[in-house]
Amino acid sequence: MTTSSVKGFRDILPEEAAGRRAVLATASEMLVAYSYREVELPLLEHGELFARTIGESTDIVEKEMYAFEDRDGSLLALRPEGTASLVRAYIEAGLSRSLPVARLYYQGPMFRRERPQKGRFRQFTQIGAELIGRNDAGADAESISLAADICSAAGVEGFRIEINSLGDQQCRPAYREALVAFGREHIAELCDDCRSRIERNPLRLLDCKVEGCRTLMGAAPMMGDQLCDPCRAHHDSVLEILDASGIEVVARPSMVRGLDYYCRTAFELIADGLGAQDAIGGGGRYDGLVAKLGGPDLAGVGFALGVERMLMAAGSQATDAGPEMLVAPLCAEAAATAASLARRLRQAGRRVEIGSAERRLKAQMKSADKTGVAFVVIIGEQELAGGSATVRDMAAGQDLPACFPLMATGAEAIAAMEGGGRDEA
Ligand code: HAM
C-alpha cells in the first residue's frame, strides 16, 4: 500500500521546478525595479483575520478555508491569500510609522479547498504586491503596470487586463440596494446559490457562472453607471495614466472579484487558452482595510499573480542545467580522491557529478553522454599512481593530451585541462 498525496495538493517535480524558480526570480527582479521590498509571511494565521477582511459571506471564507481548532481551542487557518496577512504584519510591526507609504511583496503557497480542475489547486503559489498609504490614481496604475510587466518578463503571452470600478462607501450602498431590488424582482430566474446571495452578498450575483444567471445579469444595473463623482474621476485618472504608459486595458463592468475588501479599482489579468480558470492574476484597491484591522486609516492597492497559471500561459521550457563534468573513479581506492577533486572543481564554479567506483568505465561514459557532460575525469589505479587524471573530451570523443594533477586546486586543474588540453589538441 502506498500513501498518495492529498487531493488538490501537488508535488513540484524537477521538470517544473526550474521554470517556477525562473518565474519567481524574474518577478522579484521586476518588483525590486518598482521599489517593492519582500516580506515573508507565515502560512498559518488566526481564522478571524480572513473573516474580517475577505468577508464572512464569501466563498473563500464560507467554503474554502482550511480552518481548524488548535490544541488550545483557538481557531487557526492556512492562509487562503496574502493581502490580509500582509496588512496584519504591516500593522503589527508598526510599519505605518516608519513606512507610511510602503511597497511590499510576498511569494509563497496559499490554500483554498476548491474543486480541483485544470489550473485550480488546493495549494497554489502567489506572487503578491501591495502598495499601502497611497490613495491617488497613480498608485492603482502602478499596481496594474507592475502586474503586467511581471507577466511579460516571465514570458506570459497573450493576456489582457480587465478593469472595473466597484465604487466606494458613498456610492456602493445605493448600488447594492439597486442590485438587491433587481435580484428580488427576478428571483424565479436565479439559481439556488444566487437566491441565497441576494441579501447576503448581492454583488456576487454578477459573477455567477450559471448560464441563466449570466444572461439575466446582463440586464442588471452596473456599478459603472452609478459611480459618485470622486469615484468616476478616480477611475478616469487611472485609465488616463495607463493609456499614457501604453498599457491597454478593457472594461469589464460585471467584474466584482471574490473578496469583500475592494473599493474603486478592481482588475484581472486574463490569459487566452487556459480554459475555465483563465485569471492569471487579480487585484484592486482596498482603502479602509488597514483601519479595519486596527491600524491607521490608510489606503491600499495591490494584486496577486497565480504562479501555476503563469507557467501554463508561458509554456515554460526551463530546465536545470545538468553537470558539466563527471569525475569517474574506476576502483574503490579512487573514491576518496574523486570526492575530493569533485569538491575542488565545484568550488571553482563547475557543476560536477561523481560516478560510482562500482560501475565500469563504459557504463559511466554512457550516463555521462546521456546527461550531456562535456568532460569525464577518469581516476583509475594508473592515474592514482601517476598523480594525474585522464580527461575525456566527450565532444571530440578522445582523451585530452594534457592530464590534470589530482592534488591541484580546482582552478589549477581546470586551467591544466582547458588550457593545456586545447592548445595541444
Ligand atoms: P485572487 O483573485 O483570489 O486575489 O487570487 C489571485 C490569483 O491567484 C488568481 O488570479 C489566480 O491566478 C491565483 N489563484 C487563486 N486561486 C487559485 C487556485 N485555487 N489554484 C490556482 N491558482 C489560484 C487574491 O488572492 C488577492 N489577495 C489579490 C490582491 C492583492 N488584491 C489586492 N492585493
Q: Are residues 379 and 333 in the same domain?
A: yes
Q: Are residues 124 and 245 in the same domain?
A: yes
Q: Is the pLDDT of residue 421 over 70?
A: no
Residue 93 belongs to some domain of the structure: yes
Q: Verify that 46 and 120 share a domain, yes or no.
A: yes
Q: Point out the ligand 1 atom lying closest to the alpha carbon of residue 112.
A: 19
Residues 236 and 129 in one domain: yes
> What is the Rg, in whole angstroms, of the alpha carbon atoms belonging to the chain?
29
The packing angle between helices 307-314 and 14-33, to 10°, is 100
Residues whose beta carbon lies within 6 Å of some atom of ligand 1: 81-83, 112, 114, 120-121, 124, 126, 128, 130, 258-259, 279-284, 286, 302-304, 306, 308-309
For residues 123 and 307, what is the distance between their CA atoms, to the nearest angstrom? 11
**Residue 294 confidence (pLDDT) above 80:** yes
List the residue whose alpha carbon is closest to atom 18 of ligand 1: 120
**Residue 290: CB partners within 8 Å, gap ≥ 6?**
87, 90, 91, 96, 132, 296, 297, 298, 299, 300
Q: Which residue lies with its CA nearest to atom 13 of ligand 1? A: 306
Pick the atom of ligand 1 nearest to 310's CA. Answer: 12
Half-sphere exposure of 307 (CA within 13 A, CB side): 25
User: Distance, CA 307 to ligand 1 centroid (Å)?
Assistant: 10
The beta strand positions in 61-148, using DSSP E, are: 66-69, 75-78, 102-111, 123-132
Report the predicted TM-score, pTM, of the whole model to 2 decimal places.
Answer: 0.92
Which of 132, 160, 127 lies closest to 26 in space, CA to CA?
127
162 alpha carbon – ligand 1 mean position (Å): 15
Report the atom number in ligand 1 closest to the C-alpha of 305: 7
Q: State whether 137 and 50 are in the same domain.
A: yes
CA 7 – ligand 1 centroid, Å: 19
352 shares its domain with 307: no
Q: Ligand 1 pocket test: which of 126, 264, 278, 285 has the largest number of ligand atoms within 8 Å of its C-beta?
A: 126
pLDDT one-digit tens code per residue, 145-192: 999 999 999 999 889 999 999 999 999 999 999 999 999 999 999 999
301 C-alpha to ligand 1 centroid (Å): 14
Whether the CB-CB separation of 287 and 137 falls below 8 Å is answered with no
**Mean pLDDT across the chain:** 93
Closest Cα to residue 413, out of 354, 350, 361? 350
Q: Are residues 275 and 382 in the same domain?
A: no
Query: Which residue has the CA at smallest separation from atom 30 of ligand 1?
Result: 303
Query: Does residue 189 fall inside a structural domain?
Result: no
Instruction: Please give the distance, rounded to the nearest whole angstrom, from the Cα atom of residue 349 to the centre of ligand 1.
Output: 39
Is residue 422 over pLDDT 50? no
41-55 tens-digit pLDDT: 999 999 999 999 998
Looking at residue 106, its pLDDT comes to 98
The Cα 321–Cα 150 span in angstroms is: 24
**What's 396's domain CATH number?**
3.40.50.800
Q: What CATH number did the domain enclosing 50 receive?
A: 3.30.930.10
Q: How remote is the CA of residue 402 from the centroid of ligand 1, in Å?
A: 58
In a domain, 211, yes or no: no
- Using CA atoms, how far residue 52 sits from 62, 170, 203, 423, in Å, is 12, 21, 18, 71
Question: What does the block give as the cell for 406?
Answer: 589530482
Atom of ligand 1 nearest to the CA of 280: 12
Cell of 329: 573513479
Sheet with 279-285: strands ordered across: 37-38, 102-111, 123-132, 300-306, 279-285, 263-271, 159-165, 250-251
Do residue 93 and residue 238 come from a single domain?
yes
Residues 30 and 157 in one domain: yes
Per DSSP bridges, beta strands 159-165 and 263-271 are: antiparallel
In the 8-state DSSP scheme, what is residue 392? Answer: E
What's residue 405's pLDDT?
Answer: 86
Within this chain, do residues 289 and 355 fall inside the same structural domain, yes or no?
Answer: no
Please check whether residues 278 and 335 belong to one and the same domain: no
120 CA: nearest ligand 1 atom:
20
For residue 239, report the distance from its CA to the centre of ligand 1, in Å. 23
Residue whose CA is closest, atom 15 of ligand 1?
A: 306
At 297 the pLDDT is: 96
- Domain ranges, residue 111: 14-171+227-314
Pocket test for ligand 1, best of 23, 59, 81, 144 (most atoms within 8 A of CB): 81
* Domain-embedded: residue 194: no
Indicate whether 148 and 283 sit together in one domain: yes
Residue 215 lies in a domain: no
Cα of 305 to ligand 1 centre, how many Å? Answer: 6
Higher pLDDT residue, 49 or 1?
A: 49
DSSP per residue, 257-320: -S-TT-EEEEEEEEETTSTT--EEEEEEE-TTHHHHTTS-S--EEEEEEEHHHHHHHHT-----
Q: What is the mean predicted confidence (pLDDT) over 240-261?
A: 95
Distance of CA 350 to the CA centre of its chain: 30
Cα 262 to ligand 1 centroid, rounded to whole Å: 14
Task: Tell me the β-bridge partners of 107.
Answer: 127
Examine residue 160 and state whether it is found in any structural domain, yes or no: yes
Q: How far apart are CA 353 and CA 47, in angstroms?
A: 47
Q: Is residue 193 part of a domain?
A: no
Q: Is residue 70 part of a domain?
A: yes
Q: What is the mean pLDDT of residues 68-87?
A: 97
Q: How confident is the model at residue 315 (pLDDT cuts 50, 70, 90)?
A: confident
- Angle, alpha carbons 294-84-176 (nearest 5°): 85
> How far apart are alpha carbons 330 and 377 in whole angstroms?
10
Query: What is the number of domains present in the chain?
Result: 2
Last residue of one domain, picked from the residues 260, 282, 314: 314
CA of 303 to the centre of ligand 1 (A): 8
